Chain A
Amino acid sequence: MRAWLLFLILAAPAMAEEITLSDTCPPSFQMLVDGTCELVTLYQFYDSPPQHGGLRARLDPPARRYTPQQIDLGRYLFFDPILSDGGDLSCASCHDPAQGFSDGKKRGIGAVELDRSTPTLWNVGFAQSLMWDGRTETLEAQALLPLLNPDEMAATVEGVETALNAAPGYVALFQIAFGAAPNIANTVIALAAFQSSLISLNSRYDRYAHGDATALNPQEIRGMNAFRGFVARCSQCHIPPLFTDFELAVVGAPADERGFADPGAGALSDDPARLGAFKTPTLRNITRTAPYFHAGQFDTLKGVVDFYNNTAGHAAPKGQDLRIHWHVHMTNGPKLSTATVADIIAFLAALEDENLMPERPAVLPSEPRP
C-alpha cells in the first residue's frame, strides 16, 4: 500500500496532494498542545454561568476536540456516497452546504421519503441534544442513526468498514488521522470532527452583540427588540448566542402535508408531556433552510412567525392531547402587528453568516485513480 502511495506521489503529484489531510486547524480554531483544535469566539470573553443567555452570554468552546487530520478526513467522508448502501447518498446529499446544510425539502429523502425535515448542521458541535426528538447526545452516536437507518443511507457496519478498507484512498488517510484502519468507530469520530467545524457566530447580529451598534439597521433592531421582548418571547427558547436551548418543546405544530401528526419525542416516552415535543431548532442561517418545522409545514419565515402570532397560539392537530409550552399557549396570542412581524423576519436575516463554509472536496478518496 505504502509503495503504491509512493508511486502515486512520484507519478502524479497533483493527485497525491489532493488526498493529503490538512495539518492546520480550520479558521477560528486554535491548535492546543495536545494537537487538537479548539474553537475561539468572542463569546468566550464574557463571564456568565454556562447555561445563561443574553446578548453577551459566555459560550465556551465545545468540550469535544479533534485533530486537523480528523476534521479533514471527516470532510471527505461527509461528501462521499461510499458510506451509503447504494453508494449514491452522502451526508451532503441531504445536508447540502449550498442550502444551509439542509436540502430545501419539506421532508428528507433517503432510500425513501422520510417523516421529518433535514436539520441544519451549523453550530451543531454545541448541541447537547440531536435529532428532532433529541434522542441522542453526541455527534458520534448521532452519525450512526442516518447511516444505518434502512430508510436513509441504509448502510451496515460491515458494509461501511468493508467499503472504506477497499477504497483506494481511505486506508492511508485513516492511518494519518487515527493510526488505524477504517472502522465504524473512527468513521463516526471523523464525521463528528468535521461537523464540529461548522461554525456560524460572526453574523451582523454578533457584531451588534459585541458592541457594534451600527451592525444592525433600525428595522433589524426593532425586530430584535420584539424577538427578545415578552410579548413575542422568541428568545425564551431560541436563546442567544446559539438561538436554541436544545430543549424539547411542544408548540402545537400543525400536521404535515399528508395529515400525519408526528408524536415527536412522544414516540420515545410514556410521558404525556412529551407528546408532540420537538427540539428547538437553531435560528442561525435560518434564511437558508426553508421550509420550516419538523416536516416543512411552513414555506416561509412569515408563515412561522404568523403561526406563533395568531390568536389560537398553536395549530395542534385535532384529537392530539398536547401539553403546549407555556410560552406558546397564550390565551390570546401575541397579536403583533404586521409591521412587527416583518421586523422580526428582518432580524432573523441578520443571523446569516456562512463565512466559515468548508470547501467541498474536488476529488474523493474513494474515486478510482488513473
Chain B
Amino acid sequence: MKTLSTLHGAVLASLLSSTALAAELTVPSGGSIQDVVNQAAPGDTILVEPGIYHQSVYVDKPRITLRGLRDGDNWALLDGEMKLNDGIIASGHSIVIDGFRVTGYKGNGIMTQGANNFEISNNYVEGAFYGIFPQFGRNGLVIGNTVTGAEDAGIYVGMSDNVDVIDNVAFGNVMGIEFENTRNALMAGNHVYDNAAGITLTLVPGLPVKDAYSQVIRDNRIIGNNHVNFAPASSIAAGVPSGTGILVVGPDNITIENNEIADNDNVGVFVADLITFGMDSDPKLDPYSDGVRVMGNTWRGNGENMNGMLAEMLAATGKTGIEVLAMGKGRDSCVLPGDGIDTLGTRRWQDCLGDNSVAGFATARLEGGAEEPEYTLEQKGRLTYLAVCTGCHAYDSVLHGPSMQSIQAIYDGDPSGMVGYITDPVRKREGFPEMPPQTYLGEETLDAIASYILEDLGK
C-alpha cells in the first residue's frame, strides 16, 4: 500500500511537471540549439527543425527532451564537419535524444554521462569514434537508431545498469553493438551486419566498474560481420577479430537466444577469457566468462572463410565452420544439444535446459525508472546546511563568513528574509568576502535551510 501511494505520488508529480510546467521550445532551422537548451527548464521539450547545425550540444539539466524534426529525407542534421569534438553530450537525468542525424564529429556522436533514465531513439549516426555511447547510466533505452562508420562500437553501452538496446541497425562499424562492464542489459531485435565484429560483450580492465553480468542477447540478426577492422592500431578494439558474430570476453550470466547468426567468416559465437586478449592486468577482475548460455539460435555459414588471428589459433585443430568457440576456464556455460551445431572448446560446457530460456524477457529496465533518493524537508535543510553552508560558516565563530549565531540573531522569526538574502546576497560587512547566490538549490531547499538554521541549529 505504501509503495502504491508513493508510486502514485511520483506519477502525479511527473504529470504535473510535464503538463502544468513543461514548455515546448522550437529551434528554427540552423539556429543555436545550445541557446535554447540554456533557456529550457527541466521538463521542457526542445523541437529542432530540419536543417543543418554545425554545433555541439551539451545538456546538463534533468528532464529535457531534445527532438529532431524530420521532413522526409530532410533531418535535423548535426554536422561537426570533422572540426567539432562531439555531437551531443548529456548529463541530465531523464534525457531524451530523438530523431537527429549526426555526422562529422571527431569524438562521439551522441553520448550521455551519468544520466539515469535516458532514452536515445530514432537517430542516424555516422562516423565518430563511438556512434551512440551511454556511459554511467542507470536505466535507459536505446531504440530505433541506425549507426555506421564508428571507429570503435556503433552503439556502446559503458559501465551502465538496466539498459535495453532494441531494434537498432548497426553496420560498417568496427563493432556493431557493445556492452562494456555493464550489469543487467537486454539487446533485442537489432540488425547487426557488415561490422568487423557484430556484437561484443566485454569486461574491460582498469575501469572503476569491476564486473559485467546478466545480459540477454535475443532475437537479433547478426549477419556477415566481416568488415576489415579499421580501429586505431593502439586501441583495444584493434584486437577484435574480424569475422566474428558475437564475442564474449569476461562478463557472466549471458544468454544468447533466438538470434539469426549467419555468414560471419571466422566464428558465430566466440567466448574467450581476458587472458587471450591480453586484458588480464586488473587483479580485481575475474577473467573468465561464467554462465554463458547459447540456445535456440538460427545458424548459417559461420566460420566458413577463416582468416587472421582465429585461423592461426585454430589451424592445428583443422576445424572450420564453428558456431560456438570457447576458450578459458569459464564455468556453468551451456549449449542446447538439439541445436546441432559445431562447437570447439566447450568440453566443460553442459546441455542447456528448457528453463534456461529467456525468450520472454522483455526489459532489463527498472519498473518505474531509477529514482532520486527522497529526503524529508527537515533532512534537506539540515544536510544541505552541512554540505554547503558550513563550507564558509561556523556556528559560533567566524570562518570565511560570519557565525551562524549572528545570522540567527538577524533573521530571528524571519525565514523568508533569510531566503531573500541567500538568493541575492549583497556584501553587508567589511572584511568578509561576498557570498555567492545559492538560488540553484531551489526554493524548497532554501526554505528548508532557513527553517533549519532558525529553528533547529544549535538548539
* Chain-B contact segment, one of A46-54, A105-113, A159-167, A253-261: A46-54
* Chain-A contact segment, one of B66-74, B109-117, B252-260: B109-117
A residues 88-118 touching B (CB-CB < 8 Å): none
Residues of chain A lying within 8 A (CB to CB) of residue B228: none
A48 touches B136 (CB 8 A): yes
Known: A51-B209, A52-B138, A53-B113. A45 touches B372 (CB 8 A): yes
Residues of chain B lying within 8 A (CB to CB) of residue A53: 113-114, 135-136, 208
B425: Cβ under 8 A from any A Cβ: no
B235: Cβ under 8 A from any A Cβ: yes
Residues of chain A lying within 8 A (CB to CB) of residue B130: 230
Residues of chain A lying within 8 A (CB to CB) of residue B373: 44-47
Residues of chain A lying within 8 A (CB to CB) of residue B159: 51-52
- Encode A213-256 as 1/0 by CB contact (under 8 A) with B: 10100000100011011111101000100000111110000000
B161: Cβ under 8 A from any A Cβ: yes
Give A29 to B85 CA distance when docked, in angstroms. Answer: 40
Give A28 to B394 CA distance when docked, in angstroms. Answer: 10
Q: How large is the interface on A (under 10, 10 to 19, 20 to 34, 35 or more residues)?
A: 35 or more
B399 touches A54 (CB 8 A): no
Residues of chain B lying within 8 A (CB to CB) of residue A202: 387-388, 391
A326 touches B236 (CB 8 A): yes
B307: Cβ under 8 A from any A Cβ: no
Report the nearest A residue to B86, measured CB to CB: A229
> Out of B108, B207, B236, B375, which one reaches A245, CB within 8 Å?
B207
Residues of chain B lying within 8 A (CB to CB) of residue A248: 206
A273: Cβ under 8 A from any B Cβ: yes
A residues 242-288 touching B (CB-CB < 8 Å): 245-249, 271, 273-274
A210 touches B440 (CB 8 A): yes
Residues of chain A lying within 8 A (CB to CB) of residue B399: 27
A42 touches B387 (CB 8 A): yes
B20: Cβ under 8 A from any A Cβ: no
A173: Cβ under 8 A from any B Cβ: no
Give A46 to B107 CA distance when docked, in angstroms. Answer: 28
B208 touches A246 (CB 8 A): yes
Report the nearest A residue to B162, measured CB to CB: A49
Residues of chain B lying within 8 A (CB to CB) of residue A54: 91, 113-115, 135-136
A249 touches B113 (CB 8 A): no
Residues of chain A lying within 8 A (CB to CB) of residue B38: 213
B456: Cβ under 8 A from any A Cβ: no
> Out of A41, A230, A313, which one reaches B86, CB within 8 Å?
A230
B383: Cβ under 8 A from any A Cβ: yes
B400: Cβ under 8 A from any A Cβ: yes
Residues of chain B lying within 8 A (CB to CB) of residue A213: 38, 60-61, 440
B375 touches A45 (CB 8 A): yes
Report the nearest A residue to B384, measured CB to CB: A42
- Encode B199-227 as 1/0 by CB contact (under 8 A) with A: 00000001111100000000000000000
Give A231 to B87 CA distance when docked, in angstroms. Answer: 11
B235 touches A326 (CB 8 A): yes
> Out of B138, B281, B382, which one reaches A47, CB within 8 Å?
B138
- Encode B107-133 as 1/0 by CB contact (under 8 A) with A: 110010111100000000000011001
A225 CB → nearest B CB, Å? 5
Residues of chain A lying within 8 A (CB to CB) of residue B391: 27-28, 202, 353, 355-356
Known: A46-B372, A225-B58, A245-B207. A28 touches B233 (CB 8 A): no
Known: A44-B383, A48-B138, A329-B234. A211 touches B61 (CB 8 A): yes
B436: Cβ under 8 A from any A Cβ: yes
A211 touches B440 (CB 8 A): yes
Give A331 to B60 CA distance when docked, in angstroms. Answer: 31
A229 touches B114 (CB 8 A): no
B106 touches A245 (CB 8 A): no
Main secondary structure of the interface of B (DSSP, over half): loop
> Out of A56, A215, A221, which one reaches B114, CB within 8 Å?
A56
Give A175 to B392 CA distance when docked, in angstroms. Answer: 32
A324: Cβ under 8 A from any B Cβ: yes
B234 touches A29 (CB 8 A): no
Give A246 to B207 CA distance when docked, in angstroms. Answer: 9
B295 CB → nearest A CB, Å? 30
B445 CB → nearest A CB, Å? 9
B370: Cβ under 8 A from any A Cβ: yes
A212: Cβ under 8 A from any B Cβ: yes
Report the nearest B residue to A325, measured CB to CB: B206
A247 touches B114 (CB 8 A): no
Residues of chain B lying within 8 A (CB to CB) of residue A144: none
Give A144 to B106 CA distance when docked, in angstroms. Answer: 47
A28 touches B86 (CB 8 A): no
Report the nearest A residue to B114, measured CB to CB: A54
Closest 10 CB pairs of A and B: A54-B114, A230-B107, A212-B440, A273-B281, A40-B386, A55-B91, A27-B390, A51-B208, A329-B234, A355-B391
A49 touches B206 (CB 8 A): no
> Out of A47, A228, A249, which one reaches B370, CB within 8 Å?
A47
Residues of chain B lying within 8 A (CB to CB) of residue A233: 107
B439: Cβ under 8 A from any A Cβ: yes
A218 CB → nearest B CB, Å? 11
A57: Cβ under 8 A from any B Cβ: yes
Give A225 to B111 CA distance when docked, in angstroms. Answer: 12
Known contacts A54-B136, A355-B391; 20 additional CB pairs below 8 A are: A27-B390, A27-B394, A42-B387, A44-B383, A45-B375, A47-B116, A47-B371, A47-B372, A55-B113, A202-B388, A208-B60, A211-B61, A225-B86, A226-B85, A228-B113, A229-B56, A230-B108, A246-B208, A273-B281, A330-B232
B383 touches A40 (CB 8 A): yes
Most buried by B among A55, A271, A330: A55
A274 touches B281 (CB 8 A): yes
B93: Cβ under 8 A from any A Cβ: yes
B21: Cβ under 8 A from any A Cβ: no
- Encode A322-334 as 1/0 by CB contact (under 8 A) with B: 0111100111000
A149: Cβ under 8 A from any B Cβ: no
- Encode B82-104 as 1/0 by CB contact (under 8 A) with A: 00011001011100000000000
CB-defined A-B contacts under 8 Å, sample of 12: A44-B383, A45-B373, A45-B375, A46-B372, A47-B116, A51-B210, A55-B92, A209-B60, A212-B439, A212-B440, A225-B85, A324-B234
- Encode A274-309 as 1/0 by CB contact (under 8 A) with B: 100000000000000000000000000000000000
B15: Cβ under 8 A from any A Cβ: no
- Encode B431-446 as 1/0 by CB contact (under 8 A) with A: 0000011011110000
B233 touches A331 (CB 8 A): yes
A231 touches B106 (CB 8 A): yes
- Encode B359-395 as 1/0 by CB contact (under 8 A) with A: 0000000000011110100000011101110111010
